[in-house]
Amino acid sequence: MLAVDASGFHQKEQAFINRLQKHRQSVLTFLIYPNVPPDNNASERAIRNVKVKMKVSTLLRNALGKGADRFARIRSIIDTTIKNGQDVFGALISVANMKIINST
């Protein structure tokens, strides 16, 4: 158990210590379960593509206003497929056959 008197610390340090105490059951989960990453870098990398597209270009605009939504769905499928070590092209063909990308 993490037992620290945070009263002598700076306000931000106190807040950090309080968060550690509050979430002490899950802070070091990656040490117990090897499949759990110690950071969220994969999640950050997954959304970077979309954010760059939204900021830099107008490629996501179309007449119906659904270009960004469709791009996000396709990018999500690609990222998930890569993360699971599966064939990206095969997954996209399967999705195209299901017609879920153009249904909205």
pLDDT band at 34 (very low <50, low <70, confident <90, very high): confident
Which residue is associated with the tokens 């179309």?
62
- pLDDT number for residue 36: 82
* Domain boundaries, given as residue ranges, for the chain: 1-37, 41-98
48-57 as b/e: b if 16+ CB within 10 A: eebeebeeee
Q: Is 99's pLDDT higher than 70?
A: no
Q: Whole-prediction pTM value?
A: 0.46
pLDDT in tens, 56-96: 566 556 666 677 777 778 888 888 898 889 999 999 898 88
CA gap 86, 104 in Å, rounded? 26
**Residue 59, phi then psi, degrees to nearest 5:** -65, -20
- Return the pLDDT at 89: 93
Rounded-to-integer distance, Cα 101 and Cα 61, Å: 16
